[in-house]
Each structure stands twice: as C-alpha cells, then as structure tokens.
Structure 1
C-alpha cells in the first residue's frame, strides 16, 4: 500500500498523535470548530447546470444559515443569505426552484435576481428605509470546474482552485464542466461527529480489514497521499474476476471512455478537500459527498452523483453496479464510524498513536491544531476555556 506526504506538521511534537477523543463529543469545542473551521471553509452547493436558466436557484442549509444560489438575468451566478431584510423571513423554501424575482411570502418585499431590493408595499411607511442599503446580503461564491461553492466568511484561506491545484491536471480529462446530475441531492443524518466521517474517508489502514469488496477490486494497488489541502486516494481495478456478482459485472462490462487516458479507464480516484468534502471519481461517473456538522455527535451527509451524458446501455448498467458496490462500502463505513464515535466518548480514551503511513490523518490533525491550539490537549480543559481565550 503506497503513501506519500507533503509534510505540513514540520517538527510538531503532537504529529505522532491522533486528535483526542474529547474533540468528537465536546459541545464547547464543537462551537469553536464551527466558527474557526466550517464557517470560513468552502461548501459545495450544486453544479452550474443546476442553475442553468435565469432565475433558477438552489439552496444549502448549514450552521443555522440558509444560502440561496441563483443565476441572474445577466447570466452571473450569485449567492445570498436566504433572509428578507424586513422581518428575516425565508424568501424561498425547499431545495430548488425558479423565479423571476424573489418575493417575500410574509410582506411581499421583492428582490431582483442580483439581490437588489426594488419592491416594498407601503414604502413611505418606513422612514428609515433606503432601498439601496437593504438588498440581500451576499455570500462569497467560487465556481471551480463547473461546481458552485459558497463561503460564509473569508479568513484568508485558499480558494477551491488553489486547494485542487496539485491535481488539476489529473482531473481535467474528466470534463467536470460538462457533467450533469444523475440524481437529486441525497441527505442522510449520521450519529457521529463530522470529523469522524472525514477521518474514515482518508484512513488507508482500514481498507484491507473492513472492505472486502474494495480489496477484491484493487488488490494491493490502493495508495494515499496528502498534498496541502487535499487528500488523494486511488486504486486500479484488478483483472482477476471478483466472486461478488456486482463487482464482477463492473469489471467485465465497464465500457471504454474515449476522453480519458488509458491509465484512467480502470482507475478509481478519491479526493478529500479541506475540511469536509470529497469527490469519488470513476470512469463512469463521479460522486460528491460532504459531511455537515449538526451537533457535537451528529452530522448530515449530503451526496450527489454526476456524469457525462451517455446513452449506452452498458454504461447505465455499470453505473447501477457502481451504486450497488458502494452501497455496501457505505454500510460498512457507517457501522465502523458509529462505533468509533461511541468509543470517543469513553473515559478510557484520550488520544491514540498515529502511524507514519497515516499521512492523511496527520495532515488533517495538523490543520485542526493550527486553528484551535486546544486540540493538542489529550483531555478536555475545564469548561469555559474558549471564553477565557477570547477574553485575553
């Protein structure tokens, strides 16, 4: 099993230790990590093709915020807080829709697709109102290879393009920009801290132990590396026919994909972007997943599947086989992380030693410690520690 690491930890004395268990259960740490890690980070909302027409919109809810992404009459994709400036009513409800204007269902204040407030019933009744100062509150947007991301706050962190730069050349042949959604957003709540999902995603050592199917498919080719803001995992499909019928079907019937290099035809690629998003990239399709924090011990998995239009019957069947294979993998991972979460709450667990080969876990832990120094403590500090830090 190969692994490579661009060392972010340097001479960090804690580099050989995992993040401690209290970080996965503590309400106070949860509030701090949401503020310092999740709010300033990029979060995927949709693909550009999901808001193709003027007025088309999609929403994303997390950390108590509801964000609406929409395309303006000028063709520009923008994002705003989905909150009326009058009485804080949500302007649009649901996951998606299309509108010529955003009209508040409470008092009918009307906003243009570029966020300007242009309609207020009984306008003269509001002596303090200036239309130009009460447009929708914007949210920062980045479009990377056709995917639309938003960020609640800018702390000087890297763009999505910068994070993915080490692998942009590898991703380019897949033509993300031309892909379309195969299925709508799937959301599933999990009884685990959000970090547990990401830790498991980048954990190389559990593959041969817990995932018989992936081991049959990849043999010993599974490899990982950490490059700055991205973890990369990969495996080449072996030629030996699997004993599992869906795995065997996928091996035998995956059709050639002309736009991909020969070495990518049977390559499965996995990229985890800081701090809570991942792309699973196959020759037949790509899956996107993010794990959004809900509480110290729960999170929401948000998943989407995209692919290039392909009407070949064998491609449709192979995509179904892909889903069957990964449904098993997801069930195995859910079983694992739920039990890890339970163990994190045990008084017997502080922090565990971390191996040199666990380069992705090392990289993630280093960035968490950089943003929240208390993450170095193997046991939780006395309650109120975050308020004392702010007071200094």
Structure 2
C-alpha cells in the first residue's frame, strides 16, 4: 500500500545521492552535525582526566571524565590559535588528570573547560579568561555509553531507544568493559550504502550462508521511528561450519539473561549511522563515519562483562571469527552496490513491503533533504 504521507514510500533513494559531493555537504549540515554520535563507554574513561577523542566530518571532539565523576565534551580546539589540544584516540590529561595544556602556546584549561592559564597574560589586550573557555558540545550518557552531538535539539538517545530499552536492560550495559580495542576500517563507499546494508534483511539468506546456518529462516527486521531492530535466534541444528558448530555447542549459559535471550543475536541501528550488535557473550558498537561522498570509516569495538570461564572466552573468539566472515561478505556486497549506483542507468529501485528499515531511512532522508526526491541531481550539483 502506498503511503499518502510520502509519495515515494515504495521506492528506494536515487543512486546519485550515494556519490554526489554537494549532496554530501547537505548531509553534513542537515543530518550528520545534528545527530548523536557514540564516542566511548564510561569504563573507557574511569578516572578524572581520562579522555577519548572522536574525529567526525571535519570536527574533533574530546570527551573527558570530570573531577565530579561526570562527563564533559568539548571541541578539541584551543581558543587561541585553533591548535588541536589532545592527540590520539584516548589518554589522560597531564599529571594528576587535571589540566588540558595546548602544545602550541601552553594555554591551559581545567576539566570544566575553563581557561586557567595563559603565558604572558598581560600582553593580550582583548583577553577575557572567563570568555575563552573550551567550546562545549552536547553530551549524553545512555546506559553507560557516551554520546556527543555537534548541534541541534532533536530526540535524545534515550528517547530514540525508548521502544527497546526494556530489552537492552537485560544486558547490563552499564557494567560492560572494553574487550579489545577500537578498530577503523576504511571503505571506498558512501556511508548510506553501509547503513542500508546493515538493516537489509532480504540479503541474509542470499549472501550470508553462515547466518542462515545459525538462524535458519528466523531472521527478523522491524523499524521504529529512530531505530531499526534485527534479530536471529540460534537454531539447534548443528552447522556444517566448524566455527559455527563449536559456537553453538560451547556458548555458555548467561544467568542474568531470560531464557528467550540466552541464544539470541540482536542488532539495533540508530539514526543515522551507528549500531549495537548484542550477543549473549558480548556487545559491539559499529559506526559508519562519513569521510566523503565515496569514503567511509567503519569504527567498532567490543565490550563484555567480566567472565573468566574458558567456554565464554572461546565463544567470544568464535563470535569474532564468524562475524569477520560476515563482514567480508558485506564488504563485497556494498562495493557492488556502490559501483552500480554510479551508473547513469540507475535511478531508484522499488522496495518490498518487508523492507521496513530502508523505507524508514528513505522517509527521513527525503524529509530533511528534499533533493533526495529527485531522480537526477539538480542543475549545478
């Protein structure tokens, strides 16, 4: 049935917006800057002065654990000459974890972002210390994970996840510890193609034989206003693949999970570009960081609850092996789509009624950037 609210509800987005530089600029301003982005977990920054940086669409943001135990977020930019303040993905702010010192001219800020030290202060006629503090960025902590937003006043992460918060509650997100390290995987494709593929359920039985062996025909997809949910229950039939079969056999009981979740894999993708992969044995986040119209960084890290059982350690390793193969398959699939969308012969394809996530994504994209309704780029684009 065609939606009266969106005349193009039965169609995907046009191919040109997956490689057009002007459209990418519009996305940055209308979609990406006003969106929440996941940075880290509170347990990544346990002590005062611990920080994580996040680089995104030309901005660098730093999240810092404050002395009161809270979290602050600032642009990673000195107010004097614009120098980058903190280097690397993570670290601690100086001795005692109390100050951020610019490596260029030694302007010094406390963890509240206040400017507290300027060499030769008296030689700056226009200097007002209380007006030159670090530029604050919106920050939200949801179930232990830290998010920032460059601008805007849309729904919070908690509001976005509200339809599924009761499901996530079982997994003790607040107690998760980093398991491994942040990895960045460059991909020569548009970020939307990675996002679309993540929420696409129709390709699972066609292109992911491993997931089909694990889930059978039980892979589900649904979409709420700001989040998509995908899931699959591990079936009892032993897989023909050794890693998958061993994972089925040794995945240990997780006593805080209800019976229906002890062998359930669940995925949540939040608007517009990050997701949680939730397994009985661990939790990952995956983020599709736009670099250009045809370049994306996939940023990811795993978290887990402390568990020294040999079976759990083995299950986590097997999970990694299984999903590395899935990621390899997806990498090829998305590259095929990116290449095909560059053809002038492709405009937009029809969507099945079951493609609820792609419908939801397209509806929001067209509402925010009306040019996405056009089969071809406007003149001058």
Which TM-score tier does this pair reach, normalised by the shorter chain?
Answer: over 0.9
The alpha-carbon distance between structure 1 residues 77 and 120, as it changes in their structure 2 partners (threshold 3 A), is same
In 1, distance between residues paired with 2:354 and 2:377? 27
Normalization by structure 1: what TM-score? 0.95
2:281 is the counterpart of 1:284:
yes
Alignment equivalent of 1:315, drawn from 312, 315, 329: 312
Whether 1:142 and 2:173 are equivalent positions in the alignment is no
Contiguous gaps of at least 5 residues in structure 1: 1-6, 385-392
Q: Deviations over 1:66-114 (max 9, x none)?
A: 0000011121200000100001111111011112200011110100011
TM-score by length of 2: 0.98
Is 1:105 the counterpart of 2:103? The answer is yes
- Paired residue for 2:6, among 12, 15, 18? 12
User: How many pairs were matched up?
Assistant: 377
Alignment of 1:154-173 (within 5 A): 154=152, 156-173=153-170
What is the SS of the residue equivalent to 2:253? coil
CA displacement at 1:41 relative to structure 2: 0.2
Alpha-carbon distance in 1 for matches of 2:288, 2:15: 19
Alignment partner of 1:151 is 2:149: yes
Residues in 1 aligned to 2:143 and 2:100: alpha-carbon distance in whole angstroms = 28
Partner Cα distance (1:23, 1:310) in 2: 45
For residue 117 of structure 2, what is the aligned residue in structure 1?
A: 119
Indicate if the aligned counterparts of 1:8 and 1:228 stay in contact, CA closer than 8 A: no
- 1:265-276 matched pairs, under 5 angstroms: 265-276=262-273
The 3-state SS of whatever aligns with 1:317 is helix
Q: Is residue 2:77 matched to residue 1:83?
A: yes
Kindly state the Cα deviation for residue 9 of structure 1 after the two structures are TM-superposed: 5.8
Partner SS, residue 376 of structure 2: coil
Q: Which residue does the alignment assign to 1:388?
A: none
Number of the residue aligned with 2:62: 68
1:42 and 2:40 aligned: no
Q: Tell me if the contact between 2:2 and 2:10 (Cα under 8 Å) persists in the aligned partners.
A: no
SS at match of 2:290: strand
Distance of 1:183 and 1:303 partners within structure 2? 10
1:128 to 126, 135, 157: 126
User: Counterpart in 1 of 2:53?
Assistant: 59
Query: Which of 205, 210, 215 is matched with 1:213 structurally?
Result: 210
SS of aligned partner of 1:138: coil
* Per-residue deviation, residues 342-363 of structure 1 (Å, max 9, x unmatched): 0110011011111111000000
Q: 2:300 aligns with which of 297, 300, 303?
A: 303
1:69 and 1:344 map into 2 onto residues whose CA distance is: 37
What is the deviation of 1:157? 1.3
RMSD: 1.1
Equivalent residues of 1:189, 1:300 under 8 A apart: yes
The CA distance in 1 between the partners of 2:141 and 2:250, in whole Å, is 34
SS at match of 1:189: strand
For 1:3, the equivalent position in structure 2 comes to none
User: Mind listing any 5+ residue stretches in structure 2 that lack a counterpart?
Assistant: none
Q: Does 1:27 align with 2:21?
A: yes
